[in-house]
Amino acid sequence: MRARYANLARIRALDPEHDYLVIYQTMLRSEFPWDMKLGLNLAFNRSFSLPSIAAVHTVTGELTEHTQKRIDDTGILMYEMVLNGFEQQRGREALRRVNQIHRPYDISNDDYRYVLGCLVVIPTRWLESYGWRRPCCHERQAAYRFYLELGRRMGITDIPDSYEAFETWFDAHDAAHLTPNHDAAAIERATRMLMLTRIPRPLAPLGNALVSAVYDKRLRGATHVAAPAWPVGVGLHVALRSRSRLQRWFGKPPRTALFADGIRTKTYPDGYQISQLGPQQRQPADGSGECAAAVHLSEQDPQR
């Protein structure tokens, strides 16, 4: 049991203001690898369900027509920044590439803040509900600090000054702006097909209901997704809570950290060049802006 909490002991000995990257890396790679990946996927899904964001994605077609590649590119760029931080070469290269992808487009500050809020709040709440333990205050602060630093480098303004303040702002913005829209529904249908391929075969007949059960009421409304039958929702909740207890009592930290052998995806089974990720650059004919939710992040880099 002591080994199960070894990472937590190390995290509590660190300073989340200065060691936020180490703490956040530990959360993703060792403490909660499955939960953090799922939480980040849910954060991405929510961010491109906002009407102002979803409308641009349906125009570009990147998420609806090249879904697997776009999701893989998003994940790679995100994980490269987490694995390498903002100062090492690969992390800076990933930030620069994201900036190149979004440079032609007009992206509102509120949309960028909302995406950051999704990445801070949604995975944390998933851990609070279904992680093998709840995240400690150092971990919540490290997640906030990582995205605060990212936001600073993106040139985003008016980012709330604490995790709690950001959570409050996010909830208010989400309640006011995450409303039903056909663009989000089209994107959800495309990305749902990828999620269904990850459902274990014995549960395949319940696949659509299980995916819907992972969404909350507001996200289902925004994407025109029907609520699952109550036994499915209750059953999923019980199964996830049971999993968390079994992991807490009998689990062990993984022997190998997530991505120890590199980031592998279906689109790039033999590796990738960061500079080649993302769509070909093109200026939209109507001058509309492809929002950051496609890769969700950008950078104001003096070297760009």
Domain limits, the chain:
3-294
Averaged pLDDT for residues 274-291? 60
Give the whole-angstrom CA distance, residue 74 versus residue 239: 29
Give which of 121, 163, 133 is closest to 145, Cα–Cα: 163
Q: Is the pTM of this model over 0.75?
A: yes
- Whether 284 has a pLDDT exceeding 80, the answer reads no
**How many C-alpha atoms does 69 have within 13 Å on its Cβ side?**
11
Considering just the CA atoms, what is the radius of gyration of the chain in Å? 19
Closest CA to 154 of 302, 300, 289: 300
- Taking Cα atoms as reference points, which of 27, 86, 58, 80 lies closest to residue 265? 80
3-class secondary-structure state, position 196:
helix
Residues 6+ apart with CB under 8 A from 114: 47, 50, 53, 170, 173, 174, 177
State the average pLDDT over residues 234-240: 97
Model confidence at 198, pLDDT cuts 50, 70, 90, reads confident
For the segment 239-273, what is each residue's pLDDT rounded down to a tens digit? 999 999 999 999 988 999 999 999 999 999 999 99
Confidence class of residue 290 from pLDDT cuts 50, 70 and 90?
A: very low
Distance between CA atoms of residues 166 and 113, nearest Å: 9
Question: Which runs of E-coded beta strand occur in 89-129?
Answer: none
Query: Alpha carbon 78 to chain centroid distance?
Result: 8
Helices 137-154 & 163-177 angle (0-180, nearest 10) = 70
Measured over the CA atoms of residue 31, residue 33, residue 34 and residue 37, the dihedral's sign is positive
Residue 98 and residue 150: Cα distance in Å, rounded? 12
Please check the confidence at residue 125 and state whether its pLDDT lies above 90: yes
Per DSSP, the residues of 28-81 read IIIISHHHHHHHHHHHHHHHTTSHHHHHHHHHH-HHHHSHHHHHHHHHHHHHHH
pLDDT reported for residue 58: 87
For residue 128, count other CB atoms closer than 10 A to its CB: 12
What's the rounded mean pLDDT across residues 99-119? 87
CA atoms within 13 A on the CB side of 141: 12
The predicted-structure confidence for 147-183, as pLDDT tens digits, reads as follows 999 999 888 899 999 999 999 999 999 999 999 999 9
Is 73 buried (19+), middle (13-18) or exposed (0-12) by CB count in 10 A? buried
How is residue 27 written in tokens?
A: 């959360």
Per-residue confidence (pLDDT) for residue 103, from 0 to 100: 72
Q: Is the pLDDT of residue 123 over 70?
A: yes
Query: Coil, helix or strand for 118?
Result: helix
Q: Is 190's pLDDT higher than 70?
A: yes
Least confident among 35-44, 83-92, 146-155, 172-181: 146-155
Write the CB contacts of 73 (distance below 8 Å, at least 6 apart in sequence).
Answer: 267, 277, 278, 295
CA distance 274 to 220: 34
